[in-house]
Structure 1
Amino acid sequence: MNIIFVLIPLSVILMVLAIGFFFWAVKNDQFDDLDTPALDVLDDDDEKERRSDG
């Protein structure tokens, strides 16, 4: 029974931290463009070099 007095406040603290980090990420535009970084992996490196050269 005593462990509940430890686990409940601990879980509330972790939930508050997770919500805080989520709002921080939204505020700092971490979720603005989710598709482009995933597609950049598939792009060919030679094509990027050609675009930057000329």
Structure 2
Amino acid sequence: MESLYILIPIAILFVIIAIAVFLWAVRSDQFEDLERQGMNVLLDDDDPKKNNEQQSARQDTDES
């Protein structure tokens, strides 16, 4: 029973900290554009074949 006198204020403190962090994230526009970041994974511009062709072209010009 005595441990509740310590645990309840600690839990309340953690809730206050979590709310403060959430409000900071909202005010600093951390949640502004969620869809674009998700689409960056799907629409990857890196093409392995294209990169290999570019690297070989660079090597050809470097050797000349």
TM, length-normalised to structure 1: 0.79
Q: Which has the higher contact order (CA 8 A, sep 6+)?
A: 1
Partner of 2:41: 41
The sequence identity of aligned pairs, in percent, is: 43
Bigger Rg, structure 1 or 2 = 2
Q: How many residues align?
A: 47
Report the RMSD for the aligned CA atoms in angstroms.
1.3
1:23-34 mapped onto 2 (5 Å cutoff): 23-34=23-34
Structure 1 runs of 4+ off > 4 angstroms? none
